[in-house]
Structures are given as C-alpha cells and as structure tokens.
Chains A and B, each alone.
Chain A
Amino acid sequence: MNRLLWCTMDLNYSKEELAFRDEVSGWLADNLPADLRDKVARYAHLSRDDLLRWHQILAARGWIAPSWPQEWGGTGWNVVQRYIFDEACGYAGAPPLVPFGLLMCAPVLLKFGTEAQKQRFLPRIYRGEEFWCQGYSEPGSGSDLASLSTRAVQQGDHYVVNGQKTWTTLAHMADWIFCLVRTEARTERKQDGISFLLVDMKSPGITVRPLILMDGGHEVNEVFFDDVSVPVENLVHDEGKGWTVAKYLLGHERMNTARIGASQRELEKLTAFAAQQLHDGKPLTEDTRFRDKLSRVEVELMALSITNLRFLDQLREGRAPGAEVSMLKIKGTEIQQALAELMMQAVGPLAQPFSPVDGSVDFDDFTASLAPRYCNFRKTSIYAGSNEIQRNIIAKMALGL
C-alpha cells in the first residue's frame, strides 16, 4: 500500500465539524424535553402531540428543515453537517421526525411545485401545522409500485379519485396525503400515466382503517378513496409525470437512512442493560457467548459509520446519491434488528409477558416491550423499499447486472 495514499485518508471530523457537533449536542441537552426523551428511552408509544411538539421546538430553533433552501428556512449546512445533526438527534434519543412532510413532500414541491403550492404548503410543513402521510403502496402494488391502480379522473376543475392505499404510516394522524394515482388507464409502460396528487385527508369519501401489526400497535392504515374530489391545483408536476416525481423522491435525502446515532445509543443502552441481567450469578456481559454477539454488532456499526462517512465525503463534492443509499439501508436495518433482538434475548425468559390481564400492579412495562419491539423491527427490512429491492437497485445501478 502506498503510504502517501494512506496519508490522504482522514477518518476524523475537522475542528469546525467537531465544534458544530458540540453545539448541536449541547443544544439538545438543554432543549430536548425530559418527558419525550424518557418516552423514547422506554420504547413508549409517541402521540401526534409528542411528535409535533418536538417538531415545533426544532422549528423554533430554525433547525427543522436543514436541507431546504435557505429562503424557505433551510440552514445552509453541507451534507456532513446535516449528517452530524441527524446522528446527534438520534444519539440524544430525540423523537423521530416524521419524514412525509419535511423530507418527502417538501423536496418534491421545491423541485416540481408551483409557486402557489410552495406558498400554500411549505410554511405549514415547516411549522408543523400540517401532518402528512404518504399514499404509495396498494394491496397489489408493494415492491412493484408502478403497477398501482388507484384512479384519478379529471372532471372540470377537479379530479375524482377512487381506489385504495395500504400500509399508510400515520394516516390516522395526518391532515394531508400525497398520492401516486393513475390518471391514464392504458399506457405502454406502467410507469407512464401516473400522477402525483396532494389530497386533504378531510375530503369526503376518504376512509382510514387501522391495520394492527403483530406487536399490537397501530401505526399503519388502509386508506380508501371513494369518489374523492381533489382540486386540479393539487396536481404536482405535469399530469402523467408522477413516476418522475416518485423516482426523484426515492433518491432524495436518505443519507440518514443508516441511523447510526440511534443505533449507537441503543448499543450503549443494551450494554448497560445486559450488565444488569444475571447469568449464573454474574452480569450477562461476562458471558462470552452473549458478549461476542454484542461485540459483533458493535463492529458492524463501526464499519457502517465509516462507510457512511465515506459516502458522505463523496456527496460533499455535489454528486447525487446512488446505490450507496441502498447499502446503508440494508446494513442499517440489519443492525437495528440485531440490537432489538439482543435486547429481547438479554432478559431471557422474562421476554414472554406482554400485557397484564387486570391492570395488575407491578407489571414491568419496559421488559414487556422488548419482545414486541423485536417483532415490530422486522418491518425495517420490509418498509421503504424492502432489502431485496435495495439489493436489486445495487445490482442494477452500481453493478450493471
């Protein structure tokens, strides 16, 4: 190995970047409400109010939408600063930011929206006044998203929408939904004839039905559209160009997909937690079999965080993110799943209790949340483009297979 080449590789943040990280961490220590931090730490359910409260605290500081153009409230940070910020929030145990408005709808409006659409929606997204959800998946269209069949037919100054979306995360909390709909029935390519529509969730004809997941939680929904009227001014980009919009969105702003910060926090928590669990009268962390598994995850996470930095370094030069986002998603979710699994295994037989029958006293809710959380985290390798689809993307985009 050429020594000179090695010397050009610097795995450390610059002095400025470190100062920025300290600034963010310091601010988080002072401004992340203890009750929200506690809820996240206890793996408790976060309400719409919880999510919006944290959103509004960040908005008041001017840090809610770092990647937006500065005229709309962006911070002007580069990709590394944005990454540092995201990971610091994750590491501090801040509630997650709901991405549908901030990181999905807004970038689409900024790229394709009319001035009127930007004025109407962006400030409300910024201030957390309107809660968004994403109308993509349908019962017959999951990984094969372009096969979607929800129909929108133009009648005068509005579209009439009929069909069904599914797995719609937080639709039961949402004020608005952005949807991919079919505006032209027969096209040569299934990707053609799709349009991107913004729909008010209060519109007559919309029904939201909860889909309960195997951990008993309600986070996703089915959304039914029955002759829902949508003004034509809510069409984003040209009619029939929705797939262009969808593809733009897919590649946009997902460099925090690895969730390094949150996983680092979970790893520390797992290590401390396992040290309190007894195995043969000694801390479980002294059991070599368990300790090896802990170490493996730690090493995986170390590798991923450096990989993430390498990709960021390339992006700093202005290149658009490509297949690396898929790698980060695959490895990031595998680590999250491994951590959730080890938390469950750490408590051994105590993982089995789920919920008291008669609200009996003394029920250990935290321990009882570990197995459901393990169950729930199976979703991470399925949602936002399953890990199989991510591998297809890498095979096609990066390897030319």
Chain B
Amino acid sequence: MNFDYNEEQQLLAASVKRFIDKDYTFEARRKIVGSSEGYSNAIWSTFAEIGLLGLPFSPDVGGYGGGAVDLMSVMEAIGEALIVEPYLSTVGLGAQFVARAGTHARQQAILPLVCGGKLKMAFAHTENGARYKLAHVSTRAKTTSAGYTISGEKRIVVHAPSADQLIVSARTSGGDTDPEGISVFAVDARAAGVSMAVYRTIDELRAADVTLNDVHVPADALLGEEAHGLALIEEVIDYATALLCAEAVGAIKYANDATLEYLKTRKQFGVAIGSFQALQHRMVDMVISGEQAKSMAGLACAKVDVATDPVERKRIVSAAKIKIADACRHVAQEAIQLHGGMGMSDELKISHTFRRLTMIAQQFGDADHHLERFAKTS
C-alpha cells in the first residue's frame, strides 16, 4: 500500500506548480477568460513543453505512457488554478478515443500532434433530451461509397470552439436510445457541414452547440467497431470522469484553503471568526469532505486504465462521482457561506471555484445518475 506520489510524479507536480505560480495567477486567468478566444495558446504550448499533453500516451507517439494516477496531480493543479484550457477535452476525452480505438495510422497521424500541442480536441456527444444517458444518440451516420455522411445536433460540446478535431458519436443503426448501433468518428472541426453556436459557460469555459449537416468523413474516420461504440464511449467517459474527480479534489482544496484563511483573518466582534465553534465544526466537515473526495478520486483513477473489468470500473467510477458530487456541493456552498458577502463577489476567486465545483458536480452525470448506475452494477 502506498498513497504517496512517486518521485517522477512529485517532480511533475512541482513543475506544474511552478508554471501556475508564474503564468496562471488568478489575474492572468481573468485576462485569458476575458480574451476573445477564451483560452491561451501560449499556455497550451507551455503544457506541451513541460510534457503534460503527452502524459498518458505511449512513447511511440511522443508520450510518456502514464496511467490515470500519473495525471492526478496535473488534474488537481488544473482544479486548484481553475485552468480553462482544453486539457480534459483533449487529453482525457478526444485523444483517448484515438489512443484506444484508432488504427495505427490514425494514432500516428493524431497523437504526436496532440503531444506536441498542435492539435486540440473535443467530444461531441450530448444531445437534446439525453440528460446523462450515454446511449441517447440520434445523430445519424450513413454509409457512402467513400465513407460516411454524418448529420445531427450536439449540445454543450465543451471546448468545441478551440478544437481542431471533434470526436462525434453517431448512430449507424438502431433507434435513438438503443445501446447497439452507435459508432464513433473523428471529424475535422472545420469540415464542410460543421457549424457551431458558441457560448460561454457558467464556469467560464467556451462551449458550442454543434450542428453536423451532411458531413462527409472517410471510412477510416471510424474509431473502433461500427455499431459497437457504446462500450468505448463508456470506457472513455469513465476515464475522463476519474480525471474530473481529481480536478474536483484540486478545486475543493482551493476552496478549503481559502475558507480556512478567511476564518483566520476575518475579524468580527473583536476576534477572528474562526474562533467561533459553530464555524470551526463546519470548516472541519468541509475538510472531511475534501479528504473523502480525494480518496475516491484516487480509487477511481487507479481503476480506469488497467484492464479493469467494465462492471467493476463502472461501479468504482460511479461511487467516486457520487462522493465527488456531494463534496463539490457541500464544500462550494459552505465556502461561500463562510466567506459571507465576499464569497458572492466576482472579484474573489472563491466565487469562480464555486461555479466550477457546481458544474463538476453535474458533469458526466450528477449524483442521482451515478447512484442509479452504482445500484444497477452492484
């Protein structure tokens, strides 16, 4: 049993921290969020330079062959600093489809670019009425002589505006919610027939509703087996969910650190408000939530990339997401309450962390969704 990061993981964590302290202060982030692109290419290049983009990919495409556990410290740092660049969308989602199900040729074409910071990705999956159900895909892909033609509408595709390539789920057979018949395609984000309605999200990311109107892709754009894409989607979403849990741990850490600092420094009635037992106990409960979340994030990350049995994987990831969703909600709400009016202000980072935690609680399924899946896979 060893819960500490190894030496390499510690070095990585230290270099990420150095980069954030220098280049990703809250003020720097505010400028990035307010820019027309909503993310920074310079930051993305730095990610590539310090090796973050290649972490999980194999050395023969320019990566480092790390497991999800190796990405934990990066995800925690992303959560703590509220990094808005498309790391999870690219490394944790889009490129995972290619790494897990792409042909050798496609892997060689895509992954070195991802590792080098030259290609960003997003996963276009959610549709109207789907809620969190992964099998709900009404976008259609028709076979043509040259490959496929894809048509449909995708909602809330996080980081689609910055993506060079989209991973798109589309149905090659079956009804809108059948588990069978879903296929996964790599689509050039600038392909003819792809259009986007771009917006900001409440947690200050950029996303888009993506319309695909007779988008032609070649036959080798198919990732994995035709019509059997759901298992692949579940596998990648579980992987990304585990990483998201680690991001939550970082955001919770910031919320707890900032709240503790506020309790120690904010004076009312002549004393620090942290001297009030009623508030001490609430702070303690926040810290307990944070520790429990960290445990479950670690467990989930340990189970998503080794050849875990899918049933076991789903059960663990859902358990983690339940705890994480609860912790996100608990810590975020208490952090604002204990900050008082200051917590409501846009000026303070805590209100931004609150928004991100609120969205993480729902991303890839809220606690109810995962309770249901946990119960079903038990």
Interface residue A265 (Cβ < 8 Å from any Cβ of B): no
Residues of chain B lying within 8 A (CB to CB) of residue A355:
199-200
Q: How far is the CB of B215 from chain A (nearest CB, A)?
A: 20
Residues of chain A lying within 8 A (CB to CB) of residue B343:
378, 382
Q: Which of A285-304 contact B (CB under 8 A)?
A: 287, 289-290
Residues of chain B lying within 8 A (CB to CB) of residue A213:
344-346, 351
Chain A residue at minimal CB-CB distance from B368: A289
A137 & B346 in contact (Cβ 8 Å cutoff): no
Q: Mark A146-184, 1 if CB is under 8 A from B, else 0.
A: 010000000000000000001100000000000000000
Interface residue B355 (Cβ < 8 Å from any Cβ of A): yes
Chain A residue at minimal CB-CB distance from B201: A352
Interface residue B220 (Cβ < 8 Å from any Cβ of A): no
Interface residue A374 (Cβ < 8 Å from any Cβ of B): yes
Q: Which of B309-359 contact A (CB under 8 A)?
A: 333, 336-337, 340-341, 343-347, 351-352, 354-355, 358-359
B346 & A345 in contact (Cβ 8 Å cutoff): no
CA distance A233 to B346 in the complex (A): 39
B346 & A363 in contact (Cβ 8 Å cutoff): no
Q: Which of B35-76 contact A (CB under 8 A)?
A: 38
Which of the residues B200, B340, B351, B354 comes within 8 Å of A354, measured between beta carbons? B200
B354 & A348 in contact (Cβ 8 Å cutoff): no
B202 & A354 in contact (Cβ 8 Å cutoff): yes
Q: Which of B11-19, B83-91, B129-137, B234-242 forms contacts with chain A?
A: B129-137
Residues of chain A lying within 8 A (CB to CB) of residue B273:
143
Q: Which of A119-127, A251-259, A274-282 forms contacts with chain B?
A: A274-282
Residues of chain B lying within 8 A (CB to CB) of residue A360:
197-199
Interface residue A386 (Cβ < 8 Å from any Cβ of B): yes
A277 & B362 in contact (Cβ 8 Å cutoff): no
CA distance A166 to B344 in the complex (A): 13
Which of the residues A374, A382, A388 comes within 8 Å of B358, measured between beta carbons? A374
A278 & B156 in contact (Cβ 8 Å cutoff): no
Interface residue B180 (Cβ < 8 Å from any Cβ of A): no
Q: How far is the CB of B301 from chain A (nearest CB, A)?
A: 23
B341 & A167 in contact (Cβ 8 Å cutoff): yes
Interface residue B126 (Cβ < 8 Å from any Cβ of A): yes
Q: How far is the CB of B358 from chain A (nearest CB, A)?
A: 7
Residues of chain B lying within 8 A (CB to CB) of residue A141:
268
B337 & A214 in contact (Cβ 8 Å cutoff): no
A289 and B333 in contact (CB under 8 A), knowing A357-B200, A362-B197, A383-B341?
no
Interface residue B278 (Cβ < 8 Å from any Cβ of A): yes
A212 & B346 in contact (Cβ 8 Å cutoff): yes
A378 and B126 in contact (CB under 8 A), knowing A143-B340, A360-B197?
no
Q: Mark A332-354, 1 if CB is under 8 A from B, else 0.
A: 00000000000011001111111
B345 & A214 in contact (Cβ 8 Å cutoff): yes
Task: Summarize B's interface: helix, strand, loop or mixed.
Answer: mixed
CA distance A284 to B129 in the complex (A): 11
CA distance A258 to B133 in the complex (A): 38
B337 & A381 in contact (Cβ 8 Å cutoff): yes
Residues of chain B lying within 8 A (CB to CB) of residue A383:
341
Chain A residue at minimal CB-CB distance from B364: A349
Chain B residue at minimal CB-CB distance from A167: B341
Residues of chain B lying within 8 A (CB to CB) of residue A350:
155-156
CA distance A80 to B199 in the complex (A): 48
Which of the residues B278, B337, B340 comes within 8 Å of A391, measured between beta carbons? B278
Interface residue B269 (Cβ < 8 Å from any Cβ of A): yes
Q: How far is the CB of B370 from chain A (nearest CB, A)?
A: 11
Q: Mark A358-369, 1 if CB is under 8 A from B, else 0.
A: 101111000010
B206 & A214 in contact (Cβ 8 Å cutoff): no
Residues of chain B lying within 8 A (CB to CB) of residue A143:
268-269, 273, 340
B131 & A356 in contact (Cβ 8 Å cutoff): no
Q: Which of A177-221 contact B (CB under 8 A)?
A: 211-214, 216, 220
B199 & A354 in contact (Cβ 8 Å cutoff): yes
Interface residue B188 (Cβ < 8 Å from any Cβ of A): no
Residues of chain A lying within 8 A (CB to CB) of residue B354:
214, 375, 378
Residues of chain B lying within 8 A (CB to CB) of residue A391:
278
Residues of chain A lying within 8 A (CB to CB) of residue B341:
137, 142, 166-167, 220, 379, 382-383
Q: How far is the CB of B240 from chain A (nearest CB, A)?
A: 14
Residues of chain A lying within 8 A (CB to CB) of residue B156:
349-350, 352-353
A281 & B358 in contact (Cβ 8 Å cutoff): no
Residues of chain A lying within 8 A (CB to CB) of residue B366:
345, 348
A358 and B198 in contact (CB under 8 A), knowing A375-B358, A382-B337?
yes
Interface residue A17 (Cβ < 8 Å from any Cβ of B): no
CA distance A375 to B341 in the complex (A): 13
CA distance A358 to B195 in the complex (A): 14
A371 & B202 in contact (Cβ 8 Å cutoff): yes
Residues of chain B lying within 8 A (CB to CB) of residue A361:
197
CA distance A345 to B131 in the complex (A): 10
CA distance A211 to B278 in the complex (A): 29
Q: How far is the CB of B273 from chain A (nearest CB, A)?
A: 8
Q: Which of B262-287 contact A (CB under 8 A)?
A: 267-270, 273, 278-279
Residues of chain A lying within 8 A (CB to CB) of residue B340:
142-143, 382, 386
Q: Which of B1-26 contact A (CB under 8 A)?
A: none
Which of the residues A280, A352, A362 comes within 8 Å of B359, measured between beta carbons? A352
Q: How far is the CB of B310 from chain A (nearest CB, A)?
A: 21
Interface centre among A213, A352, A357, A381 (most CB of B within 10 A): A352
CA distance A190 to B129 in the complex (A): 58
Interface residue A372 (Cβ < 8 Å from any Cβ of B): yes
Interface residue A313 (Cβ < 8 Å from any Cβ of B): no
A372 & B337 in contact (Cβ 8 Å cutoff): no
Q: A147-B268, A356-B197, A375-B202 are in contact. List 5 more A-B contacts (CB 8 A).
A: A147-B270, A352-B202, A357-B38, A362-B197, A378-B336
29 pairs, A vs B, C-beta closer than 8 Å: A137-B341, A167-B341, A212-B347, A213-B345, A214-B346, A220-B341, A278-B129, A279-B131, A290-B368, A348-B366, A349-B131, A349-B155, A349-B362, A351-B202, A351-B359, A352-B362, A353-B156, A353-B201, A355-B199, A356-B198, A357-B161, A357-B198, A360-B198, A360-B199, A363-B199, A368-B199, A375-B354, A378-B337, A388-B337
Closest 10 pairs (CB-CB, A-B): A214-B351, A144-B268, A289-B368, A212-B346, A371-B202, A348-B131, A357-B198, A360-B197, A354-B202, A278-B129
